[in-house]
Structure 1
Amino acid sequence: MPDAGLDEFLENRPFDEIAVGDSASLSHRVTQRDVDLFATATGDVNPAHVDPAYAATDMFHHIIIHGLWGGGLISAVLGTKLPGPGTIYLGQTLRFRHPVSIGDTITATLKVTEKQADKGNVTFDCVCTNQDGQVVITGTAETHAPREKVRVERITLPYVRVARHDGMRALLTRASAEAAVMTAVVHPVDAMSLVAAVEAAKAGFIVPILIGPTVRIKAVAAAEAVDISDYRLVEAADAAAAAAAAVAMARAGEVAMLMKGDLHTDVLMHPVMSSLTGLRTAKQISHVFVLDVPDYPRLLLLTDMAINISPILAEKVGIVQNAIDCAHVIGIERPRVAILAPVEVVNPRLQATVDAAALCKMADRGQITGGIVDGPLGFDNAISPEAAAEKGIVSEVAGRAEILVVPDLNAGNMLAKEFTFLSGAAAAGVVLGATVPIVLTSRADNAATRLASCALGLLVSRGIR
């Protein structure tokens, strides 16, 4: 009977147990993550190796992948199988016979061709093939085989996250193709918000109008060595006055976007929400957070985590529609919308599940348009195909969601911060539903988030127009 714990241990083949003709092999499917890790470890950032957009042929990545798997996978066979633990790798000669690309499954097979008893050396013939049986690498490897039998516990390797943020880079590139939008920067009297506005201007996303106590704004600019001489300054005594002035400029058509500076969200949103002098439309005002989460294969839009505290069903309809419209703006033609709840079945005692079912039916009848809506779905079922399959959920959305609609602000705020602070997500946020988009960043948001939020706001502004 085979040892149940065999996979937990590595056992070598000492020199005397190895015979000419013995062989061993390992297979691995090549992923972008493999290439990123190798490039990070070696410093090889040649765009021909690590940038998919740079390579113009199907030989994309093949140089770095050959190096990675030519040496790496062969070394893994030698170190874990034949001869195994205790092996000293003396050298290799390899020839790259065929391109290797992301998604290929490479199998390295090593066969003993020679033994040198006086030195304890073993020579191997090495052949690597892809999933189609094509030979991609050939060569030889020379090792010094161990003399003693060794059986050791297999080490569990640490998980290393690779944060490429390709989706967010694509969003920035998309925004770069648009003309900068006139933007009221409200009360930028701290270094972070003022520098962020200037950087967004340099990136070509906004033309800032700085509204607030001009003496304080100039003092911050001087302290940070930031040149604001090209930008218009509008005097406002305090944060509330700056917010009111910005809203008035938006109503007059002088600006097409608002950007939050150093003031509380409620101070900024109070004049925005005014029924008489604000920026309300027939749409629900809500916040959308666009997230590029490492290890998730698509951008995620999370809503609402900043404006609507405990939305009722009618408000959720507008929240969902705003998120779908935002997805269209960033290039997602028919977004998959998951209405989140604690469970994936309708329970009358859980209002989130009842609302989810109603939203799905409203989408079926055309009251919500432009996306595929499903729910209630647990968070795991929304983003994990494995979790959805385990629970027998058959859905176009489950496991592949692009929009996550949370039950209330508490859930959304906590989920957004988990994504950014623990999962390493790149983020951009914007308020939708008003006559102009509002870049609503937090004091804890970094410079990249503020820049990406301006890019998102620019795209939304162009979409509104």
Structure 2
Amino acid sequence: MQQLKSMRDLMEVARNAPRRTVAVSAAADEDILASVGAAMSAGLADFVLFGDLRRIREIAAAISVDLASFEIVDVPDAAESAKAAVALVSGGRADIVMKGLVESGIFIKALLDPLAGLRIDGNIISAIAVMEMRELDRLLFITDPGFIPAPDLATKKKIIGNAVGVMKKLGIAVPKVAVLCAAETVSEKIISTVEARKLQELNENGEIPDCVVAGPISLDLAVSEKSASHKKYVHPVAGKADLLVVPTIEVGNVLYKSMTYFAHVATGGVVAGTRSPVIFTSRSDTAETKLHTIALAVYLAKEER
């Protein structure tokens, strides 16, 4: 398929994908209802809303979201609504589960429940953020900004595998992967640089397939060909990175939110490593970000069928 290069591309292919059903936990939230209302109007998906029925109706009325086409299940407790939304997917009545206004830990607990059957044995679950930046001619991906606090070498290898799998479904045949560090040189005192170089070597040896990995590499060298040229850094990934692999969750979270709040870039995201797509947004994400994330999950659901 053709590589998706913008959020507009993503919205277009999602509209043309087979219509899916999204189970939304703790849906009594203005941005959640605004995003699912926009997604419904755009023809992206159908939705089953779990949450406090009275609050859902009040909020929808306040922001002019018509609930006539939505199925709503009254589950006021956030934890129970997360369990119910996950169960709808595991039972085959929905294709995608979406986190609403519920704490991440509560939602993840429901998601990882062995009885739910959404976790794949041997896989890790990782988060992937997607950003559209005016300066680049492509979408830029970041992993992992939300799930794994301090991944070791083996976990980073799996994180890359998860992200590459998603990116290939979006038309990026051979993703260019930058394993970010503070500098491009290896220092035995900085374990992230040692692991980054090892990941590059594993890629060169064929143990991390279907992509090109550079590491350690600083952010400027990963996304700016001018900086790479100035510093005489030569690598196929230099200035052309598709995927930024961060050393810790703090780095990924701050990088992602800096792009959102300071640069105001269009963003979305997805969770990888589960049997069905998972829409996992921050409670502070805008309705636009949630809409992009829904579109991404709908398209990935098409690819998994």
| Common fold by TM > 0.5 | yes
Could you report, residue by residue, the CA deviation over 1:392-437 in whole angstroms, capped at 9, with x for unpaired residues?
Answer: 2211001110100000110001111121222231111111111112
Q: How does 1:181-260 map to 2 (within 5 A)?
A: 181-260=20-99
Please say if residues 185 and 197 of structure 1, whose CA atoms lie closer than 8 Å, have aligned partners that are also in contact. Answer: no
Cα displacement string for residues 42-67 of structure 1 (whole angstroms, at most 9, x for unaligned residues): xxxxxxxxxxxxxxxxxxxxxxxxxx
The residue aligned with 1:356 is 196
Mapped contact 2:50–2:74 kept (Cα < 8 A):
yes
Q: Which residue of 2 aligns with 1:393?
A: 233
Is contact 1:179-1:204 (8 Å) kept?
no
Q: Rg larger in 1 or in 2?
A: 1
Aligned to 2:145: 305
Q: Give the aligned residue type for 2:9.
A: A
Residue 425 of structure 1 corresponds to 265
The whole-number CA distance in structure 2 between the counterparts of 1:369 and 1:383 is: 22
- Give the whole-Å Cα distance in 2 for the aligned partners of 1:242 and 1:401: 39
Per the alignment, residue 82 of structure 1 pairs with none
Is the 2:5–2:137 Cα contact (8 Å) retained in structure 1?
A: no
Task: Tell me which of the two structures has the higher relative contact order, counting C-alpha pairs closer than 8 angstroms and 6 or more residues apart.
Answer: 2
Contact kept? 1:247, 1:278, Cα under 8 Å = no
Pick from 294, 298, 305: which aligns with 1:458?
Answer: 298
Give 1:365's aligned residue.
Answer: 205
- Over aligned residues, Cα RMSD in angstroms? 1.7
Q: Which protein is richer in helix relative to its size?
A: 2
Provide the rounded CA distance (Å) in 1 between the counterparts of 2:236 and 2:209: 16
Aligned residues: 301
Deviation digits for residues 301-335 of structure 1 (CA, Å, limit 9, x no counterpart): 01111111111122111211111112112221111
Distance 2:217 2:19 in 1: 39
What is the Cα deviation at residue 166 of structure 1? Answer: 6.6
**Secondary structure at the residue paired with 2:263?**
coil
| 1:83 alignment partner in structure 2 | none
- The structure in which a higher percent of residues are strand is 1
Query: Counterpart of 2:251 in structure 1: which amino acid?
Result: A
Which residue pairs with 2:9 in the alignment?
A: 170
Q: Which runs of 4+ in 1 moved over 3 A?
A: 275-278
Provide structure 1 residue ranges, at least 5 long, that are not aligned to the other structure.
1-164
CA distance in 2, matches of 1:225, 1:405: 40
CA displacement 1:51-89 (0-9 Å, x = unmatched): xxxxxxxxxxxxxxxxxxxxxxxxxxxxxxxxxxxxxxx
Higher deviation after alignment, 251-260 or 285-294: 251-260
Of residues 164, 167, 171, the one that matches 1:331 is: 171
Residue 276 of structure 1: how far off its partner (Å)? 4.5
Q: What TM-score, normalized to structure 1?
A: 0.62
Q: Structure 1 237/444 Cα, relative in aligned 2: closer, same or farther at 3 Å?
A: closer
Q: Which runs of 5+ in 2 are unaligned?
A: none
Residues in 2 aligned to 1:205 and 1:387: alpha-carbon distance in whole angstroms: 40
% identity of equivalent residues: 35
Which residue of structure 1 lines up, in the alignment, with residue 106 of structure 2? 267
- Once the two structures are TM-superposed, the CA of residue 278 in structure 1 deviates from its matched residue by 4.9
AA aligned to 1:433 is G
Q: Tell me how far apart the structure 1 counterparts of residues 303 and 257 of structure 2 sit (CA, whole Å).
A: 27
| Residues 248-275 of structure 1: CA deviation (Å, up to 9, x unaligned) | 1221122111112111222111111234
| Counterpart residue identity of residue 64, structure 2 | A
Whole-Å separation in 2 of the counterparts to 1:452 and 1:277: 26
One-letter identity of the residue aligned with 1:188 = A
